[in-house]
Amino acid sequence: MNERMKAFFAAHSWRYSCTVRRFLRYWLTAFSILWTFTGFAGYFFTRNNQPFKPNVWLVLAIGVLAAVWMARPRLTRSVRIGDKDIVLRIDVNDMFDAKDSSFIVPANCCFAHEHIDGDSVIVQLRNRFFPGPGRFDRALADALRDEPYEETTVGGKPAKKYAIGTVAQLPLPGESARMAYIVATTELNEHGRGTPDFVHLQTALEKLWAQIAQKGNTKPLVIPVMGSGRQRLAQNRFELIGHIAKTFIASIRHRKFTERLTIVIHPRSYRAHRYNLDDIETYVACAGKYGL
């Protein structure tokens, strides 16, 4: 069973989605439609010269199955942002499974990726799209060659430190013109660990959207829940998703640079932290409508 299917069958998915009230509403709707249909059928079909009458228990069972199907967990939610013809999507999936989309990848201010856990987004990007770390380093250096930096030392080794919000824009292999926008979201301490600072995330997001609007293409964008992992921010994941959505909505008020932004929650994270997608969808819809 793949990770997305595990997320679908997770207990909290069904607890949030298939509530008693929602199930009864769907069941009554399905049963009413089925009973009305069978009532009409009795006028046109007969059995032993008698009006056709279906098995009541069968109709009830079909109604239950229909209600369960309608109340099932929906791991993809889409919200249209006002009158902008732009969709903000929440999706429980592996972000790199997205087709024909450009990826937003958080990084530290030195764009270092050595000795980082293989589950980190930047290492996954490197391993999926580049032949090796050396080729990835050269691509980063080429993308950052005009960006200002200062010399620093991290973990006893010299490194280049870039400003928070610096974006390395890397074309990805293939003919679809996809990009990876690698953005510096956190500073490193002398031990090479991320320094948590919510202001840094806010600055990084604002500069990221501006960079994409000015220099990026119009491909659909995919972004993880930035700040929820190695950046070690104190804010919970609901707040982080809300902040990503708010900064994106604010950035498209005067300039449309994509038709879709997908905020991706990895299925393992979804199961571990028990996300409630109903709450997230409601918040994003309100933010898109009222600019919360």
What is the per-residue pLDDT across 91-108, written as a single tens digit (0 to 9) for each? 999 999 988 899 999 999
Tokens of 20: 């008693």
Residue 196's pLDDT is 78
Q: Is 183 helix (H, G, I), strand (E, B) or coil?
A: strand
Compute the average pLDDT of residues 185-208: 86
- Which residues make up the CATH 3.40.220.10 domain(s) of the chain? 76-290
* Banded pLDDT at 291 (limits 50, 70, 90): low
Where is pLDDT greater, at 232 or 56?
A: 56
| 185 pLDDT tier (thresholds 50, 70, 90) | very high
pLDDT of residue 11: 93
Average pLDDT over residues 109-115: 86
Q: Given this model, what pLDDT does residue 223 score?
A: 97
Give the tens place of pLDDT for each residue, 73-85: 999 999 998 777 8
What pLDDT, on a 0 to 100 scale, did the predictor assign at position 232? 67
pLDDT of residue 164: 95
- Please give the CATH topology (third level) of the domain spanning 76-290: Leucine Aminopeptidase, subunit E; domain 1 (3.40.220)
Supply the pLDDT for residue 41.
Answer: 65
pLDDT at site 233? 77
Residues 6+ apart with CB under 8 A from 12: 271, 274, 276
Which residue from 91, 92, 93, 116 is spatially nearest to 106, judged by alpha carbons?
A: 116
**What integer pLDDT is reported at residue 140 of this predicted model?**
94
**pLDDT of 236 over the 80 cut:** yes
Provide the 8-state DSSP code for 172. Answer: P
Q: 281 or 55: whose pLDDT is higher?
A: 281
- Which range is least confidently modeled, 130-144, 158-172, 278-292? 278-292
Mean of pLDDT over the chain: 87
SS3 call for 89: strand
DSSP sequence for 73-122 = --SEEEEE-TTS--EEEEEES-GGG-SS-EEEEEEETT---TT--TTSHH
Closest listed residue to residue 141, CA positions, set 119, 177, 111: 111
Task: Report the percentage of the chain scoring pLDDT > 70.
Answer: 91
Per-residue model confidence (pLDDT) at position 7: 93
The pLDDT, as a whole number, for residue 95 is 94
Phi/psi for 158 (5° steps) reads -65, 145
User: Per-residue pLDDT tens for 45-61?
Assistant: 666 666 666 677 887 88
Confidence of residue 190 (pLDDT cuts 50, 70, 90): confident
Q: Are 289 and 245 in contact (CB under 8 A)?
A: no
Please report how the helices 237-251 and 198-215 are oriented relative to each other, as an axis angle in degrees rounded to 10. 30
Lowest mean pLDDT: which of 63-67, 162-166, 194-198, 220-224?
194-198
> Any idea which of 3-17, 39-53, 211-225 has the lowest mean pLDDT?
39-53
- Between residues 277 and 30, which one has the greater pLDDT? 277
pLDDT above 90 covers a percentage of the chain that reads 55
SS3 69: helix
Which whole number is the average pLDDT over 104-119? 87
- Bridge partner list, 221: 102, 261
Strand 102-108, strand 179-188: pairing: parallel
**Are 171 and 179 spatial neighbours (Cβ–Cβ below 8 Å)?**
yes
Q: Number of C-alpha atoms within 13 angstroms, CB side, residue 285?
A: 9
Q: Which helix (H) or strand (E) holds 201?
A: helix 198-215
